[in-house]
Amino acid sequence: MPFFACKCVRASPARPRLVRGGMRVAMEYSVNLPVPSPAAEEHSHRVREAVARAIDAAGGWLPFSGYMNLALYEPGLGYYAAGARKFGAEGDFITAPELTPLFGRAVAVQLVELMEWSAPRIVEVGGGTGALAADLLNELTRRNAPPLSYEILELSADLRARQQETLRRRAPELMDRVSWLDRLPDRYSGVVVANEVLDVMPVQLVTWKAGGIFERGVVVGGGGDFAWEDRPASGALLRAAQALGVTAPYLSEICLAARAWIAEWGRRLADGAIVVIDYGFPRHEYYHPQRSAGTLRCHYRHRAHNDPFYLPGLNDITAHVDFTAIAQAGNEAGLELLGYGSQAQFLLNCGILDILQEAAPVTGSTYLRQAADVQRLLSPAEMGELFKAMVLGRGIEHPLVGFLRGDRRHSL
């Protein structure tokens, strides 16, 4: 049986050898990662050329956030903008909706409440394969609460096509309610769903040293390979880094893009809620002294490694979410923090065990498989504790079912 790695699982980690020279740090790897096909290798070569041109255009130094944005989102080249399979057995990782439909069915329980208290509309950001949309639409319909509209904000033409195929196959009678967006709506009432979205927003790499706070960027080394180079941090990044109270030496990430994204929704959300499910920590855990190498990880063919320069365009690049920063950004944008807790407790509160009992016979192989999948969603050793659920909203005056027990807002 093949091993399918969730993006949080430490699977076949690479062991780097750091090569230091002045302010530059290059990484060399010798690991047994799968060999790409000639076509995939050629695609990665084109991505490397695009990045090299961007570095040159930027004066020889590109902040890592710029590199990550190109490697993931450059039209026609980036990991999420090209045609390679990302999810499931043929891709690089598996997410909760691809693991089991019971995830979406449980999340739907919370959405029923939120739509009742705002508007019967849903925007899903980054729809993946369309599995979550299909599961939510079917479960909401089963609960007599289908949304009037289900919009998917998806910039990848390849993923849009996969989402349309999934929905035609799994929820054909609900296709007339589904449409696709190219940008955030100007004004919105309803529910926004963002499952594993914030972790792939470009992050700034920051290193705290005896001489000050530096931003880590990418340069082209003497041999033509990419290498690290640090420059003094400035502006909003410097202010954000200074506010963390980190003691040097230390390396970590700050995601200004995620904060700006939440703030933008805060300006556009008339009433309703934003449901965020992702892996990460509150700030005091994220920037813990023992986490001095950061959380940046790459995912390639169900293996995790630490080298973002390896096969650019063929790897997912992620960082954990600072949920304290997300809550603060929401508060500054006028949103209320309605709940925060572990994914396990959120799903339990939403009745996933009852849904499991309804979904399969009490005995038999089907039940055992589904029970094993639910265990992965709930287990503290897998997704249950590392993944968190957070809801920010406006105009919601009721306690939420997903946080009736185990709400950890106090921990932020």
Domain with 344 in it: what CATH number?
Answer: 3.40.50.12710
Question: Is residue 160 domain-resident?
Answer: yes
Sheet holding 297-300, edge to edge: 303-305, 297-300, 316-318
Q: What is the pLDDT of residue 35?
A: 85
* Cβ-contact 120, 189 below 8 angstroms: no
**What does the alpha-carbon distance between residue 392 and residue 390 come to, in Å, rounded to a whole number?**
7
pLDDT at 25: 33
Neighbour-count burial of 401, counting CB atoms closer than 10 A to its CB (0-12 exposed, 13-18 middle, 19+ buried): middle
First to last CA, the chain: 40
Identify the pLDDT of residue 359.
78
The answer to whether residue 229 sits within a structural domain is: no
Query: Where in 188-302 does DSSP place strands (E)?
Result: 188-195, 204-209, 212-220, 226-232, 250-254, 269-281, 297-300
> Is residue 53 situated within a structural domain?
no
Q: What is the pLDDT tens value at each position of the chain, 412 positions in all?
A: 232 344 544 333 333 333 322 233 333 333 578 888 899 899 999 999 999 999 999 999 999 999 999 999 999 999 988 765 554 445 446 789 999 999 999 999 999 999 999 999 999 999 999 999 999 999 999 999 999 999 999 988 888 999 999 999 999 999 999 999 999 999 999 999 999 999 999 999 999 999 999 999 999 998 889 999 999 999 999 999 999 999 999 999 999 999 999 999 999 999 999 999 999 999 999 999 999 999 999 998 878 899 999 999 999 999 999 999 999 999 999 999 999 999 999 999 999 999 999 877 655 777 888 999 999 999 999 999 999 999 999 999 999 999 999 999 999 9
Q: Is residue 73 part of a domain?
A: no
Show the domain range for 153.
96-200+259-284+321-411
For residue 330 the two structure tokens come to 């929401």
What pLDDT is recorded for position 361? 67
> How many domains does the chain fold into?
1
Assigned domain for 63 exists? no
Residue 370 domain flag: yes
pLDDT of amino acid 2: 31
The crossing angle, in degrees rounded to 10, of helices 323-332 and 256-268 is: 30
Bond before 249 cis per omega within 30 degrees:
yes
Residue with token string 């020279």: 21
Q: Is residue 194 in a domain?
A: yes
Conformational region of residue 43, where left means phi above 0, alpha means psi within -120 to 50, and beta covers everything else: alpha
- pLDDT reported for residue 29: 37
Structure confidence at residue 86 (pLDDT): 52
Half-sphere CA count of 225, side-chain side, radius 13 A: 15
- What pLDDT, on the 0 to 100 scale, is given for residue 93? 60
Is there a domain that residue 128 lies in?
Answer: yes
Name residues whose C-beta falls within 8 Å of residue 150's C-beta, 6 or more positions apart in sequence: 121, 122, 124, 133, 136, 137, 174, 177, 178, 179
